[in-house]
Structure 1
Amino acid sequence: MRIRFLAVLMLAIPLLGGCAEAPDTSPSVEQSHFGVTPSGDSVAVFALQGADGMQMEAMTYGGIILSLEVPDGEGALEDVALGFDSLAAYTRDAYRSANPYFGAVIGRYGNRIDEGRFSVNGDTYTLATNNGPNHLHGGREGFDQVVWNAEPFHRADSVGLTLTHTSPDGHGGYPGRLDVTVTYTLAPGNELVIDYEATTTETTPVNLTQHSYFNLGGGDSESILDHRLKIHAEAYTPVDSTLIPIGEYRPVQDTPFDFTSFTPIGERIGAENRQIGIAGGYDHNFVLAREDSDSLRMAAEVYDPESGRLMTVRTTEPGLQFYSGNFLDGSFTSKSGAPYRQHAGFALETQHFPDSPNQADFPSTLLRPNETYRSRTVYGFSTPDSLNTGP
């Protein structure tokens, strides 16, 4: 983790006879000031350390995960999350106009809504369009740009952060006041557990997710194309030229979208395939196998053969958006100043499907008064001694 967190730990190490004791690796959480937004809101950052070594920093602006350090096969911690080291980098106009949503909480609706329009109970609602003709990730003022209320917690074997936000009735064009809680927990076994809850005063679509980009090589590893990916899905939802689903489930078998066994991300990313061409790589929703809609199930696994890190994704959601960092172009720089070029990171966003409010055959995203939206996703990190990942 960055110097700020290390400094906190070093101050806690007593000196005996000129030699420092090993730092305490028990679960801990520290809060510090991170800066002030252009509108004058103070932003806090929370540094969390898990029981098994994982370390994370998250800030109240956007609920953004700033860094996530996990061990490699030799036990060395490295930051596997893309992002910046200052608040100003996240709030500057250049970032917002080409927003990659590094590490942010996404809402009210993750992914795209066709032409920013949907109907509920016979009433049509119009949202801001911020991605060509479409509404993306909550529009121009989504949850990634608000300052959340935050309460850290510290239990016997875990630490975490509870974020809350109230989205007013009509904000962004959505009906109803939406009260949202997002909880990050560093759990034993180097797991990051993300819980989402929401209630509404009017029937409204809700689709919350987390938009961290990962590179399991850590540091300034330039590409994720050699990472091996396995997605537990036998179908995906193909898209039109504006990345809106066309309304069908298409089998992945015998296509570049077949990740049912471990496959290098870059192996077929340049294939002559219309769907690959539309997105410039992968930016598609995968249809996850569903046994029980309330239970966690494996959605994806990613292995980096260089570092030995394995990341697993389990979720209660029916879909997974795999994004291969196609639109990163070197205009944003990392925490050490290196450019984030195309395919510098990947995102695996657990979700309901894009444009579900306009797709009758997709799982519904409507939340009604007196109901509670609940969703859970678990990102796990390990370094297995052996793994059958194929060639």
Structure 2
Amino acid sequence: MNLKLQDVQVEKERKWKLFTVTNENGMEVKFLNFGGIITEICVPDRKGKLENVVLSYKNYEDYLTNEDFLGALIGRVAGRIKGAAFQIDDERYALEANDGNHHLHGGSNGFHHVLWKAEPFKNKETAGVEFTYLSEDGESGYPGPVELKVTYSLNEENQFIIDYEAKSDQSTPLTLTNHAYFNLAGNAKNTIHHHQVNIDSSSFAELDEDLIPTGKLLEVDDTPFDFRKERDLREGIESSSHQNLVAGGGYDHYFIFAQQQQDAVVVKDRQSGRVMKVRTNQPGMVMYTSNNLNEAHHLAEGKSQKHLGVCLETQGSPASLHEQGFPEIMLNPEEVYKKQTVFAFEIENL
């Protein structure tokens, strides 16, 4: 295992740190202490060629705004909170409405803009960085201080692991995720239309025109949302199904895991042979097919465009703050938030 650190000068008054972790297979992961942003995950294709399989900006300065949340840690609450408000017991908490009338991904000053304290570590089998941050009581409108620890680690089995841990002395909603856009073709040379996806899920959250869950969980049977057998993302991107059209041509929906398979999600790119398996103790995931990716941005691999990456946002559901039947996200004082998501990379030979 190898771990390198370099300074990145973006703002005059401070520097960011870029960490590079490499294993004996040549797999390499790069990430910043600013926003916990993953800038590269380089893995081999079936011919052994190493390429980056996540989207990243060409210029670090674009992460200062990062309106598409590329590669970032998301919190306090990943996803949209209806009406930018929620209630605990009899007390109402108002949040920033940064997505129309709703609150998205922790607000404009969410964890994707935090300069995290970073402690690197390395041993024979694993290397990575432990990020910590204290989110103060009332930050972004949320109640209670939250002590956070997020660990990024890479091992010799080509597994990139994210461990999340948090606690608070007050009841507060919390669900964390990472917003990496994956493209297994490598270096974003193709869109994700022909990525094959398998999801261990038989139901998903119906969305309204604002992309807010209506409160209904729909069965996936006989819809473009049935990924219990692998299917191309193209089918949903090109579908005339109302739910695919509401999302902007594709997916931006919460899938509840049936928890019948070890791998909650499997993504394949036939041409490169790359396979990514996702294992997690989260109850579900938002799959977002970059339907609204800003096409004005310049990425490391070229110009941005719709459907260039797929986000697999493993998390609880913020819909649970207003609706019944969704995975809860309330963290209580006697509890420790402890979640893990593993991205395991393999090769499928012809």
What's the TM-score, normalizing by structure 1?
0.86
- Residue 329 of structure 1 deviates from its aligned partner by 4.2
Q: What residue number does 1:73 align with?
A: 46
Structure 2 contact 19–31 (Cα < 8 Å) conserved? yes
Are 2:327 and 1:363 aligned? yes
Q: What residue number does 2:264 align with?
A: 299
Report percent identity of matched pairs.
37
Are 2:114 and 1:146 aligned? yes
- Residue 37 of structure 1 deviates from its aligned partner by 3.4
Cα distance in 1 for partners of 2:107, 2:232 equals: 33
Count of residues in correspondence between the two structures: 349
Query: Which residues of structure 2 form unaligned runs of 5+?
Result: none
Out of 326, 331, 336, the position equivalent to 1:372 is 336
Q: What residue number does 1:30 align with?
A: 4
Q: What residue number does 1:12 align with?
A: none
- Residue 85 of structure 1 deviates from its aligned partner by 4.1
Structure 2 contact 200–259 (Cα < 8 Å) conserved? no
Q: Which amino acid aligns with 1:352?
A: G
Structure 2 contact 77–174 (Cα < 8 Å) conserved? yes
Cα distance in 2 for partners of 1:167, 1:268 equals: 38
Structure 1 contact 54–68 (Cα < 8 Å) conserved? yes
Structure 1 contact 62–143 (Cα < 8 Å) conserved? yes
Q: Which amino acid aligns with 1:279?
A: A
Q: What residue number does 2:252 align with?
A: 283
User: What is the 5 A alignment of 1:127-276?
Assistant: 127-276=95-244
Q: What residue number does 1:13 align with?
A: none
Q: What residue number does 2:291 align with?
A: 326
Out of 315, 320, 333, the position equivalent to 2:280 is 315
Are 2:62 and 1:89 aligned? yes
What's the TM-score, normalizing by structure 2?
0.96
Partner SS, residue 267 of structure 2: strand
- Residue 247 of structure 1 deviates from its aligned partner by 1.2
1:136-190 CA distances to partner (integer Å, 9 max, x unpaired)? Answer: 1001100001100001100111111110111110000000001111001102210
Cα distance in 1 for partners of 2:86, 2:274 equals: 42
Cα distance in 2 for partners of 1:354, 1:231 equals: 20
Partner SS, residue 139 of structure 1: coil
Structure 1 contact 34–86 (Cα < 8 Å) conserved? no
- Residue 35 of structure 1 deviates from its aligned partner by 1.7
Are 2:34 and 1:61 aligned? yes
- Residue 290 of structure 1 deviates from its aligned partner by 3.3
Partner SS, residue 298 of structure 1: coil
Structure 2 contact 150–164 (Cα < 8 Å) conserved? yes
Structure 1 runs of 4+ aligned residues shifted over 3 Å read: none
Give the greater-gyration-radius structure (CA). 1
Structure 1 contact 288–318 (Cα < 8 Å) conserved? yes
Cα RMSD (Å): 1.4
